[in-house]
Amino acid sequence: MQALIVIDVQNDFCPGGALAVPGGDEIVQGINALMADFDAVILTQDWHPAGHSSFASAHEGRAPMSMIDMPYGPQVLWPDHCIQGSMGAKFHMELQQDRADLIIRKGYNPAIDSYSAFFENDHKTPTGLEGYLRTRGITQLTMVGLALDFCVNYSAVDAAKLGFDVTVQQDLCRAIDFDGSLVSAMDGMQNAGVTLD
């Protein structure tokens, strides 16, 4: 059983959004076309409360894209994005949401960020996705979406560590490439046994 995991194809990560990934909207039609090839389609959705601790605006004097140490480790401070119920948090309007078997929302805990579809950034609090996949007998995962060097990367590495067979389809991802993050992510995924297609 194979699942397509579509990571965070949301308005705030597309051109014009609060945390726009260059070319983020260019992958939508390709993702839609791929959905029919899989036994299951799962969408993830960044879903932050206002004032989330990963927002630079929650830390006086801190600029977006600066780093801070949180109790769970280093954290990039982001512009406010994907706030629950906002237009920015909605999926790109051309993404075929009706094809999804499951939507996993992440990042809703105000005290901790969540890049991965499987765990919050403490690397131990689960989202529930692993259990869903196991109970459905899904062993092979293909990941696409935004952003390749953050949420796709963390999701792929976590999935590989959990024993899934993971492929990242690079042509249907786009990256932020912040301070060497893309090269680091590609190395990390390869070292974890992720297939980069």
Give the catalytic positions in this structure.
8, 106, 151
CA 183 to chain CA centroid, nearest Å: 17
Cα–Cα separations (whole angstroms), residue 121 to 37, 74, 99, 101, 173: 31, 10, 28, 25, 21
Q: How far apart are the first and last CA of the chain?
A: 19
HSE toward the beta carbon, residue 66, CA cutoff 13 A: 12
**Structure tokens given for 59:** 């830390």
Q: Are 70 and 34 in contact (CB under 8 A)?
A: no
Dihedral sign of CA atoms 49, 52, 56, 57 in order: positive
Beta-sheet strands, E only, within the chain:
2-7, 40-46, 67-70, 73-76, 102-106, 140-146, 165-174, 195-196
Angle at Cα 126 formed by Cα 34 and Cα 35, nearest 5°? 5
